[in-house]
Amino acid sequence: MPAAYPFSAVVGLDDLRLALLLTAVNPAIGGVLVRGEKGTAKSTVVRALATLLPEIDAVRGCRFGCDPAGPDPDCPDGPHGAAAPVIRRRSSLVELPVGATEDRVVGTLDIQRALSEGVKAYEPGLLATAHRGLLYVDEVNLLPDHLVDLLLDAAAMGRAHVERDGVSVKHAARFLLVGTMNPEEGEPRPQLVDRFGLVVSVTSPDEAAPRAEVVRRRLAYDADPDGFAARWAADDEALAGRIAAARERLVSVALPDGELDRIARICLAYGVDGLRADIVVARAALTLAAWHGRGEVTAADVRDAARLALPHRRRRDPLDPPGTDQERLEETLSSEDPDPEPEPPDGGPAGGGAPSDEDGEAGEQPAAAPGQPYRPRVLTLPKTGERAHAGRRSLAYARRGRVVGARLPRGAGAPHLPATLRAAAARGSRAVAPGDLREAVHVGREANLVLFVVDASGSMAARQRMSTVKAAVLSLLRDAYQRRDRVGMITFRGAGADEVLPPTSSHEVGVQKLARLRTGGRTPLAAGLEAAARTLRAERRRDPRRRPLLVLVTDGRSTAGADPLTAVPALAGTASVVVDCEAGPVRLGLARRLAAALDAACVPLSQLSGERRRAA
């Protein structure tokens, strides 16, 4: 097997390398989340870190990697006495695939031994394998939420607690947790991001020289991996020695009260929730001091720790555009400087002239600001799907959730013990055979594709009305974000329809598109429906198992193009909701008629709010 790419040979990425090294020194920091576009060497750097971790002593034959000097008293393979045989090995690197199941992560009942020997035995999972090593989760934003919860809970407590399939097990699970993600594929929930100690954003070099050096080194590694690694071995050994020295020094580093007060002031000014941020910044500052060979935390350590630990923790709208957190942090840290530099003059034009029409289209209205968003009523798909994408919207058969029945095994599902026993009894046997095994059928929630089709024509152009419509769509976008859906947006006005947001998991992009949405012109409703049909056909080819929900936001008027009813057959079988935006004392009921043709629910705009429904 070729040698791993050397950590010391990585070009640039200073913040990422520092964050990983700090976590290697002090796993109590809570792990690292790495955000970056594809091709930015995220996985390469993480795998390289594993080669720097020191070798460890472990009890021979223990599947949970117990330390002979302090074995876990709850170890399922224990107890381990003082005379237990010892082996020395490298710290483990465990990679968790996106498609992993819960039983593979935490472990489960050993079915083979249960059926053949009649004993209740435990088969350990990846958390046990990762104990005292590094657990790497690529594309952590695509991992089901319940698995991320398991990982973060274990990383925070240093233990895994398994209660499933009649098994109750506790075992040590202390590991370095590193997750990588591409923001283009969607953001994880803020409360999950908050559980990572440090978050680093990486980008590719924006100058020719470092880009060329990256390619030069990569080509040299591909040509001779072992020889390339040997050239950097001394640098990597120096880093490994520095990690070991910093670990020993960490216990004696002092955190002065003045710097602890500085941490508290920064976290308060930055507007974080809870106290986890204060604790992580303090741990990171102590680790930085140990890494630099100091016996006491300095103001520089606090500032560097804050830059790694705080940008993802500010109390904010989860759909805010990226970059605002870092700007706010810089302002907060500047306020802690004793002599902050004065801000440069704005340099923009004085006064507040009226905004100009950017493209000058006749009849086009300036973009109206969305109104205040709210919690909308829950829009779900009918029937029960076969869950291919974990989420929180529509009912679907899943691997976890409410048990609704049993069936013959189809995969790695949890066994249904009562049904298994009944199958054995039906054979007249008092012993369970492999053919008697039954699998539990669970019903949980799935994520869907929510496609918004929004009328942006002149009939919607009254600013107050469009502001209300935008507030409704923004509220539904937030709801889709919380329920882990993919979203897309089509608008129609003037001569046709535009796919302003192809289906994506980046909900914040939808918010930006919505804010810039202008209105005006005639109403080509049929074009909007035809564009929706094309988008849904393409998505079915790309992801046939994700069920779509069409949300049509319109007053039902059509003043250009074909009759909207001619486009309805192309949407047959698509679960749809029509949000009726018709206003005024005289109402034609056109949106309601269109909803009937689509076999869709029709929700008046004024009744979209779930909060209002509960209050009514």
The single residue of 217, 242, 276, 392 carrying the catalytic annotation is 276
pLDDT computed for residue 92 by the predictor: 84
67-80 as b/e: b if 16+ CB within 10 A: bbeebbeebbbbeb
The mean predicted confidence, pLDDT, of the chain is: 82
Which domains does the chain possess? 1-54+91-99+131-145+174-248 (3.40.50.300), 260-336 (1.10.8.80), 386-446 (no CATH), 449-615 (3.40.50.410)
* pLDDT value at residue 325: 63
**Over 50: is that where the pLDDT of 353 sits?**
no
Of the candidates 556, 559, 473, 470, the residue with the CA atom closest to the CA atom of residue 522? 559
The predicted structure's pLDDT at residue 372 = 80
Q: pLDDT band at residue 361, thresholds of 50, 70 and 90?
A: very low
Tens of pLDDT, residue by residue over 185-212, are: 766 766 677 778 898 888 888 889 888 9
Backbone angles phi, psi at 306, to 5 degrees: -65, -40
Render pLDDT for 229-270 as a digit per residue (tens, 0 to 9). Answer: 899 999 989 999 999 999 999 999 999 999 999 999 988 888
pLDDT at residue 336 greater than cutoff 80: no
Q: Please state whether the predicted TM-score (pTM) of the whole model is above 0.75.
A: no
Tell me which of 167 and 242 has the higher pLDDT. Answer: 242
**Known catalytic membership, residue 276:** yes
Buried b (16+ CB within 10 A) or exposed e, 173-209: bbbbbbbbbbbeebbbbbebbbbbbbbbbbeeeeeee
Q: Which residue has the tokens 């929706």?
A: 532
The string of pLDDT tens digits covering residues 281-301 is: 999 999 999 999 999 999 999
Nearest CA among 164, 89, 78 for reference residue 132: 89
pLDDT at 387: 81
Predicted pLDDT of residue 317: 61
Beta bridge partners of 455: 492
- What's the confidence (pLDDT) of residue 141? 78
